Structure 1
Amino acid sequence: MTMDYEYRGLLASTWDVWRDDTANWSDRHLFLEVIRRYGEPALDVGCATGRLILDFLEQGIDCDGVDVSPEMLAITRAKAAARGLRPNLYQQRMEALDLPRAYRTILVPSSTFQLITDANAAQEAMRRFSNHLLPGGVLVMPFFLPWQPGQPLETDWLLVFERVRASDGLTVRRWSYERYEPELQLWHSKDRFEVVREGEVIDVENHERSPAGRWYSQAQAAALFEQADFVNIRVTSEFSDAPATEGEALFCVWGEKRL
C-alpha cells in the first residue's frame, strides 16, 4: 500500500527510545477501565509502535491496531513477535477507516485525532469511527491545547530528548520547534534529529509538518461527537472519570453509539 505518512525515519525508529517507560502512564489505566466497562473487542487507533495494543494483548484483551505509518507498524510487529503475540494490524488513515469487524471500544490515544488538520477529513473520521462501533459501544479520545491566550506564538528550538540508542550505543538527540496560528487553531512543527558518536554528529535528519495538527476547545471537541450522532457525550479531566473544568489543557471526550 502506498500513501503519504509523517512518522518515518528517525521519527519512527527513535519513538521508543524516548518513550521507554510507559507502564504507569495515566492514559493506560483509564483505557483499561474503559475496556472493562464497555467490553471487547477494542481498537487502538494510531497504535504507533504498540505501546498499548501489545500490553492489552498480553492481558488477554481482544484488541486490534491501526496506524498510517508502515514503519511504526513494522516495529510493532517485530516487538509482537519477540513477545509471542500476533496482533491484527492495519495501515489506514482515520478518515479512510475500513476494517473487517466492529468494536465495543475504540480508543484514539496520544491526541492522535488532532493530527487530522482538514475539517472535512475530521468529520469523515468521526463517521468512520461510528460505523465501526457496535450499538452501545464507546469512542474515547484525548485532546490537548498546545497554545493558550497570552503564550508566545512560537517556541525556541527545544531539546526533546538525548538518549543512548540500545541497538548500537550511539546517542540520539531530538530538537523541536513549534509555531501556532490561534485564529485557525493550527500548529506547525519542525524536528531535527542528530546521531552522535564520541561527541561528533555523524547524521542529521529533519522533519517538517505544516500544519502539524489542529486543536479544539472542549465545546468544539464535544460538537464533533454530536455531529456524528454520538450520545451520552462526556468531557472528563485529563485521564480521569471526573468532569473537566473550563480551560483545562488536557481532557478526554467520551461518546456512545446509539443502541
Structure 2
Amino acid sequence: MRLTGPRRGRDGEYPAAVIAESGTWHYGLIARWWAEFNVADPEELAYFRAAIRRFGEPALDLGCGTGRILVPLLADGLDVDGSDISADMITAAQAQAAKHGFTPRLTVQPMHQLDLPRRYRTIYMCGAFGIGGRRDHDREGLRRAYRHLEPGGALLIANHHLPYADRDEKGWSHWLPGRRVGTPHEWPTEGDRRRAADGDELELVSRLAEFDPLAQRKTLEMRARLWHGGQVVKEESYRLKENLYFAQEILLLLDQAGFHDLAVEGGYTGRPATANDGMVAFVARR
C-alpha cells in the first residue's frame, strides 16, 4: 500500500483539520460501515467488467473506497489497481482483498494529486466525482486521469446522479426560491443501525447541513455511532461536501481536460442516456 495522501495523527486518527480539508466523511467508523455493509450490485459489476474487457487492462478504480467493486473484479482475473483519499478506506480494501488472496496495488491519494507509476487502458470512478466540494480539484482530477491513460484508453464516470434526480423529490424542489428549507435540517431521531460480523452494532445518522444553489454545492453531516450492550460507546461526526453537476457541465470539463469521443449513458445500461435517466455514466477517450 502506497501512502501519499492525508496522514493520520499519532493516535492513529486523522486530525479534524485534515478531514475538513478533504471534504469527505470516509474515515473511522464510516469506513468500517462501508467495509461491512456496502456490497456491489451484480449490475454494477457487469458494467465495469464489460468496460474493462472493452477498453483493456490494466484498470484503475479511482476513489475505490473499501474495494467493493475492485475486489470482485480481481476475482474475475482482471488487473485492477485502486486509489482513494482515505487511508482508512484503503486499509479496508487491502483487508478485503487479502481475504481472497489478492495483493493489489493500492494508493492513498486524492484524485487531484494522482501520481502513479502505471498507465492504464481503463480508469473508472463510481459515484465519486464532485465529492470534496472544490471545483478546481474536480478539474485537476480529470486532467490527472487523462495523463494516467494510455492513448486510446477510456475514463468512465459512473453512478453519477444528476441534480434533478434527487432520490427525495423534495430535494430538487429546494432549488426553487419559494421552496427552500432552512439549513441545517434537524437530526433524525434514529438512523440506520446494523450488526457487524463481529457482533458490534454500527449506526449512521445524516442530515443536510448546507445547500447553495448558486454554487451548486451541498454539505451533508453524518454521525457514526458504535453500540455495545444497548449503549453508545463511541460517536464520530463528519461533513461531506459535494459539487452538483449537470450532464453538459461534465462533458465540457472532459473536453477541456483533453478527452474526445464523449458519450453519456443511461445508468449501467450502456445505451445513450435520455432525459428520463437520473443516474448516468460518462465515457471519454484519450
TM-score of the two chains, using structure 2 as the length reference:
0.81
Q: 2:35–2:93: 8 Å Cα contact kept in structure 1? A: no
- Alignment partner of 1:172 out of 202, 222, 225: 202
Which residue number in structure 1 is paired with residue 14 of structure 2? none
Cα distance, 1:244–1:208 mapped onto 2, change above 3 Å? same
Which residue number in structure 2 is paired with residue 11 of structure 1? 30
The whole-number CA distance in structure 2 between the counterparts of 1:2 and 1:40 is 25
Which residue number in structure 2 is paired with residue 119 of structure 1? 135
Sequence identity percentage: 30
User: Partner letter of residue 219 of structure 2?
Assistant: H
User: Partner letter of residue 94 of structure 1?
Assistant: M
The whole-number CA distance in structure 2 between the counterparts of 1:156 and 1:80 is 39
Which residue number in structure 1 is paired with residue 15 of structure 2? none
Spell out the pairing of 1:108-147 with structure 2 (5 A cutoff).
108-109=125-126, 111-142=127-158, 143-145=160-162, 147=166
Instruction: Give structure 1 stretches of 5+ with no counterpart.
Output: none
Which residue number in structure 2 is paired with residue 222 of structure 1? 251
The whole-number CA distance in structure 2 between the counterparts of 1:241 and 1:27 is 11
Give secondary structure in 2 for the equivalent of 1:61: coil
- Note the alpha carbon deviations across 1:185-235, whole angstroms, 9 max, x for none: 1010111122223332222221123xx110111111111111112111001
- Note the alpha carbon deviations across 1:68-115, whole angstroms, 9 max, x for none: 111111111122222111101111111111110111000011x21211
Cα distance, 1:92–1:2 mapped onto 2, change above 3 Å? closer
The whole-number CA distance in structure 2 between the counterparts of 1:160 and 1:223 is 38
Aligned alpha-carbon RMSD (Å) = 1.9
The whole-number CA distance in structure 2 between the counterparts of 1:157 and 1:223 is 37
* Count of residue pairs brought into register by the alignment: 251
Spell out the pairing of 1:21-36 with structure 2 (5 A cutoff).
21-24=39-42, 26-36=43-53
- Alignment partner of 1:91 out of 96, 102, 108: 108
Give secondary structure in 2 for the equivalent of 1:108: strand
- Alignment partner of 2:122 out of 102, 105, 123: 105
TM-score of the two chains, using structure 1 as the length reference:
0.89
User: Partner letter of residue 128 of structure 2?
Assistant: T
Which has the larger displacement, 151-160 or 217-226? 151-160
Which residue number in structure 2 is paired with residue 49 of structure 1? 66
- Note the alpha carbon deviations across 1:137-157, whole angstroms, 9 max, x for none: 100002213556424556553
The whole-number CA distance in structure 2 between the counterparts of 1:145 and 1:188 is 16
- Note the alpha carbon deviations across 1:11-65, whole angstroms, 9 max, x for none: 111112331x4242x3222111111111111000011111111111111111111
Which contiguous aligned blocks of 4+ residues in structure 1 show a shift greater than 6 angstroms? Answer: none
Q: 1:18–1:161: 8 Å Cα contact kept in structure 2? A: no
2:79 aligned with 1:62: yes
Q: Which has the higher contact order (CA 8 A, sep 6+)?
A: 2
Q: 2:45–2:73: 8 Å Cα contact kept in structure 1? A: no
Give secondary structure in 2 for the equivalent of 1:122: helix
The whole-number CA distance in structure 2 between the counterparts of 1:208 and 1:38 is 36
Q: 1:194–1:201: 8 Å Cα contact kept in structure 2? A: yes
